[in-house]
Structure 1
Amino acid sequence: MHLETLNDKDLRIIGILITVTIEIDDAGTGDPLLGAAIGFYRRETDELHFEWIPIEAYQEGTYRKGLPQEEAAKAVMRGLLALNIKEDETVMICQGSIFDRARDSLDKANIKHEPLKVEGVLQDAVEEEYIQAVEALGIKSKHLRVSEDNKDKEYRKRYFLLLNWAKRKAKEREKFVKNGLNFWKYAKGQRRQIPGGWKQARRKFEDKLMSILKKSKDTLTWGELKHKLKSNFPKRDVWVNHKLSSFGPTRHNGNNTTFMRVQVYNYLLGQVYFFLGERFPESAGELVWKALILKEEEYSVNGVIIYVKRDKYYKDNMKWLAFLRGKVKKLLGGHIRFVTHVY
């Protein structure tokens, strides 16, 4: 006898209490192409269902802040309706910010819901739904499918695989891109080739940074380091002490106007670099905020790299960075490099 063939009366008679749940997860929200897939899974009956956040929610001309979340909420309610959700069913929904509005909609509809750490059948199924849509564009690569063993690295590889595919024929393929988001404004305009490729340029730049720090005295201040950086790197590629807009944490200058600065932004690589230590005017919390502001101001942010001085603040800084590591990827995207170097 199969439980799914029994009606409520049968279940009451044999004294079995079953809690039925519907799990919800997304795929593609952090990728540069297409919209995003929303997957639904009723574990007890092994039912799968999919809805989509349309690409228009992310595209120039229609995109606005909060629209993807609104479309996700609509997709969630459509999916639950399609599954004919029962009054006593509980929705287990992924904790990602894409579902913020969906949780509000569930509350308004008096639908019970709980946070879910998604894994297994649903995670694999919704990822496959998104990947098949990508493959339908003609993109074939073993790097589209991500394994659990090295998830962060493989998501990053997939992100750039899809982005580079779009960039190769930008005019023709832009219709498939989340082009209302900041990353595309940078990526589309980056026509200058990186000598030796991105990885080699990144390694060379970061090795040189570390060399400057190691050769400097323990009394090195931010002012001294700033001078060394400006002397060693071309201004068009590496922006030192770059001024950001006036919102967020601010500094006052002589004219009593306010602004904030990010220590180093490598425009060529799309990475932001910070230096933490007793003699540097920066905190772990500030650096994440500034990386977010950079992204809001339409700069590409592919990585947040921190150089931590082994001084009396070292342990506190490392604790903060360990706490912030997971948060950064949620705020800036799963493709982000978040690397800590100690010197």
Structure 2
Amino acid sequence: MHFFKYIESRNNFINIISKPTNNIDIHNQQEVKILNMIQIDDAGSGSFIGGTCIGFYRPETNEYYFDIIPVELYNTDNFKKKLYLDDVVEIAKKAFKALRVSKSESIEICRGYMFERLKCWLTEEGFCWYVTQITGRIQEVVEKNFELYAVNLGLPNDYIKFTRFPFHFHKLLRWVLSDYENRINLCKVGWKSWQKIKDITPTLSYSQIQQSNFVCLKCGKHIKKGSDVAVLEFFSNKQNFIYLHSGCEN
């Protein structure tokens, strides 16, 4: 659990919305003056690796609260029960307590399935909430925190920084299969996309690398041009090749 509170100039805020617009779904609107707004967003729900980061932000005071839905809630049994949606509610309860959210504040929720049960809870508790597209500072902060979390799990920072769509399922699959026994427990194995290919077994061969821009996806170190390498080959949505230092395949 993480809670940060600090103040910045209002000029630094991005896309602050002070009232609902015509294209959003408003629930439980009351005849009260809206003093503040709480924005709620998620990051990582589409990443095969890790849980999901849920973030809360009050633009007027620049206060943040974020927490991670544990990846264990995405195992086969828990995923079927959608227990991760229940955890969103539990995280929200802690966030609202930490931020001292009042019913005079409007709640802005990101579109998507992650907040389906949270919406029910907000309605039951009498909060005024609406769904809209979340952009700006909260989106940036939540996504960055998920990236830091993923790096802490072991995903190379350079992989995130220099790979286009680094959290794409099939790209993450290459990293997972580079050290399957130690990394599969970091993944959302309840996903249907994984269940379809969970019995995949890469074939092993050996070669010599002729380029200088490869990194061993097991140890994370650079592979020198001309080095002997172990090559793992598998098919998911296309033919994939994983290059490891000779010896890292063991």
> If the length of structure 2 is used for normalisation, what is the TM-score?
0.63
The alpha-carbon deviation at position 160 of structure 1 amounts to: 3.0
Go from structure 1 to structure 2 and tell me whether the alpha carbon gap of 1:170 and 1:83 turns closer, same or farther (over 3 Å shift): same
In 2, Cα distance between the equivalents of 1:68 and 1:154?
Answer: 27
Query: Residue 115 in 1 paired to residue 131 in 2?
Result: yes
Contact 1:23 1:116 in 2 (8 A): no
Distance 1:45 1:59 in 2: 37
In the alignment, which residue of structure 2 is the partner of 1:190? Answer: 200
Match of 2:106 in 1: 90
Query: Displacement of 1:114 after TM fit?
Result: 1.1
In structure 1, give the amino acid aligned to 2:111: Q
Q: 1:94 to 1:81 in 2, by over 3 A?
A: same
1:181 aligns to what?
191
1:73 aligns with 2:89: yes
Matched pairs, number:
179
Residue number among 172, 190, 193 corresponding to 1:162 in the alignment: 172
C-alpha distance in structure 1 between counterparts of 2:122 and 2:188, whole Å: 27
CA distance in 1, matches of 2:106, 2:170: 37
1:130-167: CA deviation from partner (whole Å, max 9, x where unpaired) = 11011112222445259xxxxxx943664333222112
Give the number of the structure whose residues are more often helix, by fraction.
1
- Is the strand fraction higher in 1 or 2? 2
Q: Secondary structure at the match of 1:188?
A: coil
Quote how far apart the aligned CAs of 1:18 are: 6.2
Return the TM-score normalized by structure 1: 0.47
* One-letter amino acid matched to 2:42: D
Please give the alpha-carbon distance, in whole angstroms, between the structure 2 residues aligned to 1:18 and 1:101. 24
Kept in 1: contact 2:52–2:69 (CA 8 A): yes
For 1:171, the aligned partner's letter is E
Unaligned runs of 5+ in 2: 1-6, 10-32, 204-234, 239-250
Comparing both chains, which one has the higher relative contact order based on Cα–Cα distances under 8 Å and sequence gaps of 6 or more? 2
| Paired position in structure 2 for 1:38 | 54
**Letter of the aligned partner of 1:190 in structure 2?**
I
Pick closer, same or farther for the CA change 1:168–1:185 going to 2, 3 Å. farther
Report if aligned partners of 2:57, 2:138 keep a CA contact under 8 Å in 1: yes
C-alpha RMSD of matched pairs (Å): 2.9
Note the residue ranges of structure 1 that are not aligned, 5 or more in a row.
Answer: 5-16, 147-152, 194-267, 272-343
Structure 1 residues 179 and 118: alpha-carbon distance in aligned structure 2, compared to 1, 3 A threshold = same
For the pair shown, the structure with the greater C-alpha radius of gyration is 1
Task: Please say if residues 103 and 126 of structure 2, whose CA atoms lie closer than 8 Å, have aligned partners that are also in contact.
Answer: no
Work out the CA distance in 2 between the residues paired with 1:157 and 1:126: 15
AA of the residue aligned to 1:104: C
Amino acid in structure 2 at the alignment position of 1:105 = W
- Paired with 1:87 and 1:110, the residues of 2 have a C-alpha distance of 7
Contact (CA 8 Å) 2:38, 2:107: kept in 1 or not? Answer: yes
Larger deviation, residues 54-63 vs 172-181: 54-63
**8 Å CA contact 1:143, 1:157 repeated in 2:** no
The C-alpha deviation readout for 1:100-121, integer Å capped at 9, x for no partner, is 1110110000011111311111
